[in-house]
Chains A and B, each alone.
Chain A
Amino acid sequence: MYTSGINQVNGVPRQRPAVVRPVSQQRPAATGQWAAQRTAQRTAQTFHQRCAKITGIYAGIAAFCVVFCLIYEQFSFGEHSDAMRRMFLVPLLGGVLPFALLAASDLLSGLSRVAFNLWNSGIAVLVSGCLITGIIEISGRVSDYSLYYWIAGGVFLAAAVVAQTVSLLAVSR
């Protein structure tokens, strides 16, 4: 669906070697509309399952952020940082929410690998920003670098959206 070019040799699609099965093992020929529907169903099912799995991973990351913050505050002599306390919101709103939505709906039937990587990167940068800002604030200092994290994270997320849009447009053509 989202061909990347990596399965091409000198511009010619790489052919899989033909598999010759005994007649007894040959599948009945699937033809026409039924075959197309079955392929689409399988693709959608796989994508939904994958999104559900990613949702679970992001939920775990959000939970880890909460636990990390609680433990860190236990050793911070009463100090706390709003940035660190809100750290869990990043994987929650940027990971659990969108991927749960994708898993439960038919908004998308696939996700560009580039967009997926960029989106994850954006979430990672924003979580790092919350973490570093929190550590610095709790130590009584002022972070001069927080803004750069927010900008970089935003750029990654925006780039992910652009990459996915470009991918969809390419497919629609």
Chain B
Amino acid sequence: MLRFLQKPFAYAAVFSVMLASVNTFVLLKTYVIPSVQGYVTELSDNSSGTAGTTEVIKGDPVITDSSYADENIQLTLTTVRYADTDVYVADITLSSAEYLKTALASNTFGTNVTQKTSEMAAAHNAILAVNGDYYGASRQGYVIKNGVIYRDTARKDTSYDDLVIYSDGSFGIVNESEVTAQQLLDSGVVNLFAFGPALVQNGQIAVSQNQEVGRAMANNPRTAIGIVDDLHYIIVVSDGRTNQSQGLSLYQLAQVMQQYGCVTAYNLDGGGSSTMVFNGEVVNNPTTNGNRISERTVSDIVYIGY
């Protein structure tokens, strides 16, 4: 051993290979190797979930390229131009909160378990779907989906609040340092998004002009969800990083949500993850680097459907 440590080149070569191997393993473990921790069906058996318990009467839906309407769901999709960016706005009115749902990639909870938003939307017959909070990017932060607690570990960085959706469809903003996941579930929370920050609270913009996700200070593709009134929601996806669309800052996104009357609005995972699917078609231009329009796989979606 001592002799080996004294050989400069042999030691350097072996050590370099070992260090490179460790680095490769860490990167693969972080980005590629799936780590399954549970399945939706198994976990749902023990849940107090409320979704899917009511007999649904849909009637004949009226579907156009930019709208959907039936007995329970009225949805209008518009594209607006804001800050040199194409912004896709879905105005949704529901008869019941149970039509606002979330889904996990491959119905599986875990890290690096991902699927395209459009694939998840198709699997759940979603009328409209957008990417969620990409819970799989972190091993911390509460994960509550469709009334089931999948993770109850509070995120270390509690500078951002979470968005909770109660069983009656109302929104709330909570901080994980102040409440446990079980307390949230007991209070009627059925879905939780741990990304952030909150864009609009009590009708007022809640982010500063310079505030950004993490340490980013750039305009980006964005996804946001907000509530206007009881069972009246706004879901927004913006393009970005392309020649056609610059992208939005958080403040600009908050302005959009406020303009559409949101009293509470929340920023979901953005960048290359930002994807909106309507009636099986991707309506925005998802891109990671601007060079190629391509959907990124994500951990979860929020969708409107039965």
Contacts and interface: CB of A to CB of B under 8 A. Distances in A.
Contacts of B156: 142
A66 interface: no
Given A77-B220, A113-B6, A132 B138 contact: no
A75 B216 CA distance: 12
A55 B138 CA distance: 39
Interface residues of B, number: 35
A52 B129 CA distance: 61
What is the interface of chain B mostly: helix, strand, loop, or mixed? helix
B212 interface: yes
A142 B214 contact: no
Contacts of A144: 30, 139
A143 B30 contact: yes
Contact of B5 (A118, A124, A132, A141): A118
B3 interface: yes
B15 A121 contact: yes
A125 interface: yes
Contact of A140 (B26, B29, B271): B271
Nearest to B22: A128
B8 A113 contact: yes
B23 A4 contact: no
Interface string B1-34: 0110110100110011001001100110111000
B114 to A, nearest CB: 12
B137 interface: yes
A106 interface: no
Contacts of A77: 216, 218, 220, 241, 271
B215 interface: yes
A136 B8 contact: no
A135 to B, nearest CB: 7
A79 B2 contact: no
A124 B15 contact: yes
Given A6-B3, A6-B6, A77-B271, A141 B138 contact: yes
Contacts of B140: 142
Contact of B138 (A80, A118, A142): A142
B217 interface: yes
A77 B212 CA distance: 12
Contacts of A80: 215
A128 B137 contact: no
B239 to A, nearest CB: 14
B67 to A, nearest CB: 33
A5 B58 CA distance: 86
Given A124-B19, A128-B23, A136-B30, A79 B6 contact: no
Nearest to B136: A141
A79 B220 CA distance: 11
B27 A132 contact: yes
A28 interface: no
A30 to B, nearest CB: 30
Nearest to B25: A145
A79 B214 contact: yes
A121 B8 CA distance: 11
Interface string B213-229: 11111101000000000
Given A6-B3, A117-B11, A78 B212 contact: yes
Contact of A78 (B6, B134, B138, B217): B217
A154 to B, nearest CB: 15
Contacts of B6: 4, 6, 113-114, 117
Interface of A: 4-6, 75, 77-81, 113-114, 117-118, 120-121, 124-125, 128, 131-132, 135-137, 139-145
27 contacts: A4-B2, A4-B3, A4-B6, A5-B3, A6-B3, A78-B212, A78-B215, A81-B215, A114-B6, A117-B5, A117-B6, A117-B8, A117-B12, A117-B15, A124-B15, A124-B19, A132-B23, A135-B27, A140-B134, A140-B214, A140-B269, A141-B137, A142-B156, A144-B30, A144-B139, A145-B26, A145-B29
Given A77-B216, A124-B19, A140-B214, 13 more contacts: A4-B2, A4-B3, A6-B3, A78-B215, A78-B217, A78-B218, A78-B220, A79-B215, A117-B12, A132-B26, A139-B31, A141-B30, A145-B29
Instruction: Report, nearest first, the 7 A-B pairs whose CB atoms are least far apart.
Output: A78-B218, A78-B216, A113-B6, A141-B137, A114-B5, A142-B138, A79-B216
